[in-house]
Structure 1
Amino acid sequence: MTDDLLSARDTCRLLGISRATLYAYVSRGLLESRPGPDHRSRLYLRQDVERLAERQRVGRGAARGAAQSLDRGLPVLETRISLIRPDGPYYRGHSAIAQLRAGASLEDVARLLWDCGADDPFAMPVPAWPDTVAALASDARLPPLERTMAAIPLLALQERHSFNSAPQIRHRVAATLLRQNAALLVAQPPSIDPVHRVLARTWRPDDAAFEDLVRSALVLCADHELNVSAFAARVVASTGAHLHATVCSGLAALSGPRHGGATARAYALIAEAMQATSPRDSIAARWQRGDDLPGFRHALYPHGDPRAAELLQRLRTHMPDRAMLEKLDSIVEVTDEISGQRPNIDFMLAAICHAYALPATPALVMFAAGRLAGWLAHALEQQAHGGLIRPRARYAGVQPPTQE
């Protein structure tokens, strides 16, 4: 047993719980279990156990709420934008999966998330790149997020309505930003075409099945309640900053390996499993070492990420290469069998790239292009409500000397 893994007995002792409670924690997704050396016992990640123990040690009331709220814990603010349920996210009361099945585009769900009503902010033309941005925006040598984060502040200088508070004007600024963001991510000129078409024709032109998969991914990535990048965007928006600044904060948060960067890690796991003599042995070896399985498990969906299940079903329908599909299905099946974990949205974005012989980058681009709709929704809602987001910290450092 490594120092990173604990036995059931040690886990129960540290948490002060019974075996029955331990098994209940696992079933609820609060803890992960892994096979022990004899394949009958179970082991538990020390970091997960210690995190849960720390939550238990925090006192009740306001202090406990503050300590838990920043790690998928208690709610910290109200929103009318999205709701997470076991069957997936709901956008203003409408199932994202149902919207997808009805043929919605990213623009359609953006209008819903932004509460546009009968107004269509996408009816406006999109301007060409200004001279200050043109060379940067078309430089495909630059990584997508970096190119986009460098260009958007310059685009803000050209937006004369940046601080206009009229809802229709702000929706039109948001619509322009959604289109510009997509174009920047793939180093293409701005277009009035649907975002999924702009992305799909960059990677696989004239492939209707692939285009529909991209549309599906964008719709399912559009928002996911108060995730890290959405919270970053709301914090910036609460200062009164313009929408371009909130978009940059969302992109910066997304760039981390524990958020949008998880798509690259999932892509690497798939590649490693496919290149191994036995995908089962590859996944089992990672699991036995105590390594994580990028692209699997979601804390908010302990019984499986329904967004991933929907994308997997659509990939099975559209996928022309049956041999590749069988490999991806095998990875999903053996991982579930070995770890009890099911794929999440990161895995499926990476799987789409593998299925169509694309590198890992398009997975992150789809995530960033889709999620921008949600960031803008949260920024618009935050600024409409007003108020500065300024939480307090519970100091745990060295205390200053007592003054006499």
Structure 2
Amino acid sequence: MADHDTAQDTGERRLSTREAADRLGVKPETVYAYVSRGQLTSHREPGSRGSTFDPKEVDALARRSGRREPSTGGAELGIRTGITLIDHDHCYFRGVDTAELAAHYSYEEVAEWLWTGVLRRGIRFTSPQDARTAARRAVRALPPHSGPMDQLRVAVIAAAAADPLRFDLSENAVLGTARSLIPTLVDALPALGEEPSATGPLAPRLWSRLTAEPADPASLRVLDAALVLLIDHDLAASTLAVRVAASARAHPYAIVSAGLGALDGPLHGAASGLAHRTLLEVLDRGSAAAVVADHLRAGRRVPGLGHRLYPGEDPRAGVLFRLLADVPQAAPALQAAREVVTTTARHTELHANVDLALAVLTVAAGMPPEAGETVFALARTAGWIAHALEEFDERPLRMRPSGQYHGPRPPQPLPLP
């Protein structure tokens, strides 16, 4: 009873058996084995059918045992994380609704809070001179046709080479690297418009790398909100790659490189570019119906619609659409996006996702199709660092699954030329 009272007093909801199993990385029957051995205390409310557990006690057992059995019978790898929760068409960072975070705080403020638990109003990330110079030189050396993702990848490597202390994985050192790496990546991209101060807020500095159009306050508000909303999204493919690298105790630059590598695909970071091109086609042809019909006829999914984690509308898209309504030049692209949603809804129940909302911004601001992926990558860098910090507290090299061999059975004859 004491454990139950403690959980209530701290305001933390008690865990169901399934939730306790997920946190411990074990099967539900193993949870009851812990109870029978006195390692966990269960409590059953009068009239309820299942037991509940104190989250602090469960977390303490997880730290002591170091067990990480998949709770799904081996079908998926279960990874304990306290960063992002997606629940009932809402996304939360450390229990706080991301829509509220985006409405009240800047990208730098949210990133700093996510890393440290401390909200520092007005914090600014600045790039060190050595790292900025090395990254810019590396970017300038690329072929003219190189895109922004190519530029970000080489900028990370150049910044790493300029940092002889990159192998220091202490928390303070990793945080220092994070605060300098993100602005270094922004400042390494070629400026397309008037370049603002390198010590100012990050959103205007990024804007000048994405378009030559002048920035207005309403548009910058959308960009900054997009950066906040895209910081993390549970264990996406790039985040899993980051945690594997962190499990091997790679340095922060290599960890971000792992994330960028996994992000570089049409099913992840590049999805906003497909939505961008779709909106341009709708505006050019004057009809969403014709464009949607072409996608359906070809057996393709309509870009910017649907998300497997949200039965309804992606909450990140809803936030950005509301902010975009205050940007006059975004009206045509916003209307095109709404027509894509309503037209597709006649055939299948799919809702807008964040890629479609991001595409409205990039189209309205005259940005290239790759701009959405650039925003995505830079925003997600903060989330990757948060996951790396979390993984550094775990047992090294814990993510070492066993392969299921399906090749020819040995012994086989030696291959001949």
Shorter-chain TM-score: which interval? 0.7 to 0.9
Q: Which amino acid is the alignment partner of residue 158 of structure 1?
A: A
1:79 to 78, 81, 86: 81
Among candidates 164, 169, 194, match of residue 168 of structure 2 = 164
* 1:249 pairs with 2:253: no
2:242 counterpart SS class = helix
Alignment check: 8 A CA contact 1:144 1:186 kept:
no
CA distance in 2, matches of 1:197, 1:358: 14
Q: Give the share of equivalent positions with the same residue, in percent.
A: 30
Structure 1: where are the runs of 5+ without partners?
1-60, 70-74
- Mapped to 2, the partners of 1:90 and 1:63 lie a distance apart of 23
Q: 2:312 aligns with which of 303, 310, 316?
A: 303
**Among residues 182, 186, 190, which one is paired with 2:186 in the alignment?**
182
In 1, the alpha carbon distance for the partners of 2:221 and 2:386 equals 24
Please tell me whether the aligned partners of residues 245 and 255 of structure 2 are also in contact (alpha carbons under 8 angstroms). yes
Q: Does 1:147 align with 2:151?
A: yes
Provide the secondary structure at the position in 2 that maps to 1:317: coil
Distance 1:277 1:173 in 2: 47
Find the counterpart in structure 1 of residue 202 from structure 2.
195
Where in structure 2 are the equivalents of 1:40-79 lying within 5 Å? 65-67=73-75, 69=76, 76-79=78-81
1:4-403 matches, cutoff 5 A: 65-67=73-75, 69=76, 76-102=78-104, 104-117=105-118, 126-130=127-131, 132-138=134-140, 141=144, 142-186=146-190, 191-202=198-209, 203=211, 204-276=213-285, 278-320=287-329, 322-388=331-397, 389-400=399-410
**Matching residue of 1:44:** none
- The SS at the match of 2:325 is helix
- Deviation of 1:401 after TM superposition, in Å, equals 5.7
Unaligned runs of 5+ in 2: 1-68, 413-417
Q: Which residue of 2 aligns with 1:24?
A: none
- What is the Cα deviation at residue 321 of structure 1? 5.0
Q: TM-score, normalised by structure 2?
A: 0.73
Conserved? CA contact 2:89–2:311, under 8 Å: no
Higher normalized contact order (CA 8 Å, seq sep 6+, divided by chain length): 1
After superposition, the Cα gap between the structure-2 partners of 1:117 and 1:287, relative to the gap in structure 1 and judged at 3 Å, is: same
Give the Å deviation of 1:266: 1.5
SS in 2 for 1:113: helix
The superposition leaves residues 370-404 of structure 1 with CA deviations (integer Å, 9 ceiling, x where unpaired) of: 111101111111112232121222333444469xx
SS at match of 2:116: coil
Quick check: which has more Rg, 1 or 2? 2
Q: 1 CA distance for matches of 2:169 and 2:72? A: 37
Counterpart Cα distance in 1 of 2:364 and 2:92: 28
Q: Give the superposition deviation at 1:331.
A: 1.8
Deviations along 1:147-183, one digit per CA (max 9) or x if unpaired, are: 2211222221222432324322321111111111222
> SS of the counterpart of 1:201?
helix
Contact kept? 1:121, 1:172, Cα under 8 Å: no
CA RMSD of aligned residues (A): 2.8
Query: Alpha carbons of 1:121 and 1:290: their partners in 2 closer, same or farther (altered >3 Å)?
Result: same
Whether the aligned pair in 2 keeps the contact of 1:91 and 1:112 (CA below 8 Å) is: no
| Change over 3 Å in CA distance of 1:163–1:119 after alignment to 2 | farther
Q: Distance in 1 between matches of 2:150 and 2:81?
A: 30
Paired with 1:275 and 1:107, the residues of 2 have a C-alpha distance of 37
Q: Which moved more, 1:184-193 or 1:360-369?
A: 184-193
Contact 1:350 1:363 (8 Å CA) reproduced:
yes
Q: What TM-score comes out, normalization by structure 1 length?
A: 0.75
Task: Note if contact 1:86-1:306 (Cα within 8 Å) is conserved in structure 2.
Answer: no
- What secondary structure, in the 3-state scheme, does the structure 2 residue paired with 1:117 have? coil
Change (3 A) 1:157 1:327: closer
Q: In structure 2, the residue corresponding to 1:251 is in which secondary structure? A: helix
Q: Deviations over 1:54-99 (max 9, x none)?
A: xxxxxxx9696433x2xxxxx6210111111233321111111111
Give the Cα separation in 1 of the matches to 2:275 and 2:312.
Answer: 19
Between the two proteins, the alignment pairs up a number of residues equal to: 335
Q: Mark the CA change 1:121 to 1:216 in structure 2 (over 3 Å): closer, same or farther.
A: closer
